């Protein structure tokens, strides 16, 4: 059988197993919006940890992060681990989201904001922010799959075919049983992601003579990649902060992950979710970065960093079977992220835009139907964006910066989220103004490529939106009664659970 | 000072190290024992800190 036939064989098996799991998950599906979008807040620790991990870690890791490491060296590790260090903030936010989610029945993080600020416009603003900025992030996942299948099949499978496969799987898995099918397929995919990436890294490291020889070769062949700023000069402190700052707050700014803070069934499940994710993230990050470093030794001189992984997988030292399994692992990482994004965006549209603004009297059944229709619509938009971006060469269109660009826009909601939990004086006007002005700044800087003082768009947006949030809040009237009730409830509940 | 305040200060300290050590102290160490090792140990410390805090959580009846 040819390489392409093996690739198709692997894809068919993967889709078949994924569909079987999603279909089995459907047997547990009950009725209602909370059931469809949050699995009725009844997920156990293992599933919660796996769906959080698979949603967070995407094609970005083994393609984008590996590509960044390939081009810019160890700074890529620092950037990604800065994100993981930011997960320390989960000790503050996880119990808070979970407690108020249970008490007030929030379905989306935007609904939480609308209620806390007593303004549906706050939720709608944050929802629009998510709809705008998650499209590029979703598109990145599709591009990852397209590049990979194209690379492994040595150009026989066009990039667009890989993108279409990813779109169809994501739509199916998010629609079959909502969060239940997404969580179960995520768990399946998370296990594939980490085991096959570890296995293929092991094969490559052994072929380089073991870890000791691998590190020695790196130190002698590419010493400039082991420091920051990198010898090539592109990876400087501004790029590091520009990429790391939006990522640092990823856990609250990205609704597809913050929505998952509502789903554990108990405190024990919450602890398992957080602990499981931290261990998963630590291992997967190291694997992805070492993978990128191995590519610098084995396939030097590539012009497009996103092709480092696909090119490495075509080397004779990696058995064809393993290369195909790795391709499946990375495809799984991409699809597990995009199906979660689709599910979250559909819930955000249904709850915060449709019910919040367009038709407040819509029935629960009607709301669910709207959400299910939004899934394919958002998928098609992400698909078109991916097609457009895949033809653009250069750093601005690399997977990693594109992912960071999406997070830079979502970063503008961070002051609003902090204010909701920690500042009674925060107001709806402050939230709306800071989100909109910050997002406009990010968009303008992103589109024009303008970087005054060398600082990235997310940094400028954040510098403007934080003081704006504070000043406008101080100048306007807060929802005192709700703030007292919301934060007062949390104070008591946090004490009871020994949360901090 | 509350436990929460201490945790925020600890987190800020970790972030300060994130910039200070690799970007200003280890900037000429072109070895795996430089920034690579620092960031690996640094994040392990952050993860262990989170474990120390969340392992104390207990079930709530609300």
pLDDT in tens, A180-207: 999 999 999 999 999 999 999 999 999 9
Of the candidates A226, A237, A282, which has its C-beta nearest B32's C-beta? A226
Q: Is B24 on the interface with A (CB under 8 A)?
A: no
What's the Cα-to-Cα distance from A430 to each of A417, A474, A475, B59, rounded to whole Å? 12, 8, 9, 35
C-beta neighbour count of A265 within 10 angstroms: 16
CA distances from A200 to A53, A195, A291 (A): 20, 9, 9
Q: Do A219 and B31 touch (CB under 8 A)?
A: yes
Domain that holds residue A125: 3-396
Q: For residue A379, tell me if it sits in a domain.
A: yes
Which residues are CB-neighbours of A288 under 8 A, at least 6 positions away? A61, A62, A65, A66, A69, A80, A197
CB atoms A226 and B15 under 8 Å: no
DSSP state of B28: T
| CB contact (8 A) between residue B29 and residue A227 | yes
User: Residue A347 above 90 pLDDT?
Assistant: yes
Smallest CA–CA distance, residue A74 to chain B, in Å, is 6
User: What is the distance, to the nearest Å, from the Cα of residue A128 to the centroid of all Cα atoms in its chain?
Assistant: 17
Which residue from B2, B18, B29 is facing A85, i.e. has the nearest CB?
B18
The predicted model gives A169-183 an average pLDDT of 94
Res A399: pLDDT: 65
Minimal Cβ distance to B47: which of A237, A282, A500 = A282
What confidence score (pLDDT) does residue A393 get? 61
Which of B35, B43, B57 lies nearest to residue A85, judging by beta carbons? B43
Please give the mean pLDDT across all residues of chain B: 95
pLDDT tens string A108-164: 999 999 999 999 999 999 999 999 889 888 888 888 788 788 877 878 889 899 999
Q: Is residue A342 part of a domain?
A: yes
Residue A301 lies in a domain: yes
Task: Say how many domains are in chain A.
Answer: 1
- Name the pLDDT band for A462 (thresholds 50, 70, 90): very high
Other CB atoms within a 10 A radius of the CB of residue A318 amount to 18
CA distance B19 to chain A (A): 8
Average pLDDT for chain A:
92
pLDDT of residue A395: 42
- Report how far residue A427's alpha carbon sits from residue B27's, in angstroms, rounded to the nearest whole number: 44
What pLDDT does residue A394 have? 52
Q: Evaluate if residue A329 carries a pLDDT over 60.
A: yes
Which chain B residue is nearest to residue A289, measuring alpha carbons? B36
Quick one: pLDDT at residue A147?
79
Q: Which residues of A are less than 8 Å from B19 in CB distance? A: 237
The pTM of this model reads 0.94
Give the nearest partner residue to A497 out of B3, B47, B58, using CB atoms.
B58
Could you say which DSSP state residue B54 is in? H
Number of domains in chain B: 1
Set of chain A residues whose Cβ sits within 8 Å of the Cβ of B46: 84-85, 87-88
Integer angstrom CA distances of residue A296 from A60, A397, B34:
18, 20, 18
Is B28 a member of any domain?
yes
B60 inside domain? no
* Closest residue on chain A to B17 (Cα): A82
CA atoms of A414 and A424, how far apart (whole Å): 16
How many Cβ pairs closer than 8 A exist between chain A and B?
Answer: 128
**Chain B residues near residue A94 by CB distance under 8 angstroms:** 54
Between chains, do A91 and B14 touch, taking CB under 8 Å as contact?
no
Assign A401 a pLDDT band (cuts: 50, 70, 90).
low
Q: Does the pLDDT of residue A396 top 60, yes or no? A: no
Residue whose entry in the numeric block shows the structure tokens 């320390």: A88
Nearest CA in chain A to B13: A85
Q: Please, which residues 60-99 of chain A have a Cβ atom closer than 8 Å to chain B?
A: 74-75, 77-78, 81-82, 84-85, 87-92, 94-95, 99
Q: Per the CB < 8 Å rule, is A274 touching B47?
A: no
User: Among partner residues B4, B8, B28, which is closest to A227 by beta-carbon distance?
Assistant: B28
Query: For residue A362, what pLDDT band results from cuts at 50, 70 and 90?
Result: very high
Q: What is the pLDDT of residue A233?
A: 65
The enclosing domain of A300 has a CATH number of: 1.20.1730.10
Interchain contact B28–A (C-beta under 8 A): yes
Decide if A451 is inside a domain: no
* Interface list for A 209-238 with B (CB within 8 A): 215, 218-219, 223-224, 226-229, 237
What is the structure's pLDDT at A181? Answer: 95
**A450 dihedral zone (left: phi>0; alpha: psi -120 to 50; beta):** beta
Whether residue A84 and residue B42 make contact (CB cut-off 8 A), yes or no, is no
* Residue A485, domain member (yes or no): no
Q: Quote the DSSP letter at residue B61.
A: -
Q: Say what the pLDDT of residue A220 is.
A: 96
**What token pair was written down for A376?**
């394919």
Q: Which residues pair with A43 in a beta bridge?
A: A264
ipTM value: 0.97
Band of residue A398 on the pLDDT scale cut at 50, 70, 90: low
Q: Nearest by CB to A84, which of B22, B43, B56?
A: B43
> Phi and psi of A264, rounded to 5°?
-65, 145
Check pLDDT > 80 for residue A404.
Answer: no
Give the A window 244-303 contacts with B, CB below 8 Å: 248, 266-268, 270-271, 274-275, 278-279, 282, 286
pLDDT at residue A234 is higher than 80: no
pLDDT in tens, A302-315: 988 878 888 898 89
Helix H, strand E, coil C: the string for chain A is CCHHHHHHHHHHHHHHHHHHHHHHHHCCCCCCHHHHHHHHHCECHHHHHHHHHHHHCCHHHHHHHHHHHHHHCCHHHHHHHHHHHHHHHHHHHHHHHHHHHHHHCCCCHHHHHHHHHCCHHHHHHHHHHHHHHHHHHHHHHHHHHHHHHHHHCCCCCCHHHHHHHHHHHHHHHHHHHCHHHHHHHHHHHHHHHHHHHHHHHHHHHHHCCHHHHHHHHHHHHCHHHHCCCCCCCCCCHHHHHHHHHHHHCHHHHCHHHHHHHHCECCHHHHHHHHHHHHHHHHHHHHHHHHHHHHHHHHCCCCCCHHHHHHHHHCCCCCCHHHHHHHHHHHHHHHHHHHHHHHHHHHHHHHHHHHHHHHCCCCCHHHHHHHHHHHHHHHHHHHHHHHHHHHCCCCHHHCHHHHHHHHHHHHHHHHHHHHHHHHCCCCCHHHHHHHHHHHHHHHHHHHHHCCCHHHCCHHHHHHHHHHHHHHHHHHHCCCCHHHHHHHHHHHHHHHHHCCCC
Q: Are B22 and B36 in contact (CB under 8 A)?
A: no
- Which of A245-259, A360-374, A380-394, B30-44 has the lowest average pLDDT? A380-394
Q: Which chain A residue has the Cα nearest residue B39?
A: A78
Burial of A199 (0-12, 13-18, 19+ CB in 10 A): middle
Mean pLDDT across the stretch A469-475?
98
Residue B21 · residue A228 · CB < 8 Å = no
Mean local confidence (pLDDT), A65-69? 91
Mean pLDDT across B36-59: 98
């Amino acid at each position: 059988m040819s390489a392409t036939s093996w690739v198709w064989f692997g894809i068919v098996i993967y889709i078949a197993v994924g569909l079987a799991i999603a279909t089995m998950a459907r047997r547990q599906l009950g009725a209602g919006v909370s059931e469809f979008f949050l699995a009725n807040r009844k997920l156990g620790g293992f599933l919660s940890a796996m769906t959080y991990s698979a949603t967070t870690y995407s094609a970005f890791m083994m393609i984008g992060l590996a590509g960044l490491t390939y081009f810019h060296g160890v700074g890529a590790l620092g950037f990604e681990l800065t994100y993981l260090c930011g997960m320390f903030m989960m000790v503050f936010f996880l119990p808070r989201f979970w407690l108020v989610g249970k008490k007030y029945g929030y379905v989306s993080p935007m609904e939480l904001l609308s209620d806390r600020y007593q303004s549906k416009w706050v939720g709608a603003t944050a929802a629009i922010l998510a709809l705008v900025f998650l499209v590029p992030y979703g598109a990145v996942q599709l591009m990852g799959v397209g590049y990979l299948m194209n690379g492994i099949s040595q150009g026989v499978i066009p990039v667009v075919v890989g993108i279409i496969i990813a779109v169809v799987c994501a739509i199916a898995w998010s629609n079959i049983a909502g969060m239940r099918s997404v969580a179960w397929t995520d768990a399946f995919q998370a296990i594939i992601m980490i085991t096959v990436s570890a296995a293929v890294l092991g094969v490559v490291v052994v072929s380089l003579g073991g870890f000791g020889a691998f590190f020695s070769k790196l130190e002698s062949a590419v010493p400039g990649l082991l420091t920051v700023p990198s010898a090539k000069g592109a990876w400087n402190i501004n790029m590091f902060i520009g990429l790391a700052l939006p990522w640092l707050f990823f856990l609250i700014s990205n609704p597809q992950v913050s929505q998952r803070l509502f789903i554990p069934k108990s405190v024990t499940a919450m602890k398992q979710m957080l602990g499981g994710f931290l261990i998963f993230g630590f291992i997967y990050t190291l694997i992805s970065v070492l993978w990128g470093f191995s590519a610098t030794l084995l396939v030097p001189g590539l012009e497009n960093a996103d092709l480092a992984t696909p090119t490495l997988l075509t080397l004779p030292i990696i058995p064809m079977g393993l290369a195909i399994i790795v391709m499946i692992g990375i495809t799984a990482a991409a699809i597990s992220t995009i199906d979660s994004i689709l599910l979250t965006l559909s819930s955000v549209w249904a709850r915060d835009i449709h019910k919040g603004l367009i038709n407040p009297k819509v029935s629960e059944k009607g709301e669910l139907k709207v959400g299910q229709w939004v899934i394919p619509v958002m998928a098609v938009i992400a698909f078109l964006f991916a097609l457009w971006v895949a033809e653009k060469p250069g750093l601005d269109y690399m997977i990693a910066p594109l992912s960071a660009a999406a997070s830079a826009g979502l970063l503008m909601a961070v002051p609003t989220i902090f204010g909701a939990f920690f500042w009674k004086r925060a107001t709806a006007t402050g939230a709306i103004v800071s989100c909109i002005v910050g997002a406009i700044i990010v968009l303008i800087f992103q589109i024009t490529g303008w970087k005054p003082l060398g600082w990235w768009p997310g940094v400028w947006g954040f510098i403007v939106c934080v003081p704006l949030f504070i000043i406008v809040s101080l100048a306007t009237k807060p929802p005192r009664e709700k703030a007292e009730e919301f934060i007062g409830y949390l104070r008591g509940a946090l004490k009871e659970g020994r949360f901090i | 000072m509350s436990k929460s305040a201490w945790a925020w200060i600890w987190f800020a300290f970790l972030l300060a190290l994130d910039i200070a050590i690799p970007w200003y102290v280890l900037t000429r160490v072109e070895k795996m024992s430089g920034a690579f090792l620092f960031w690996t140990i640094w994040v392990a410390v952050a993860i262990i800190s989170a474990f120390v805090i969340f392992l104390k959580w207990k079930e709530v009846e609300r």
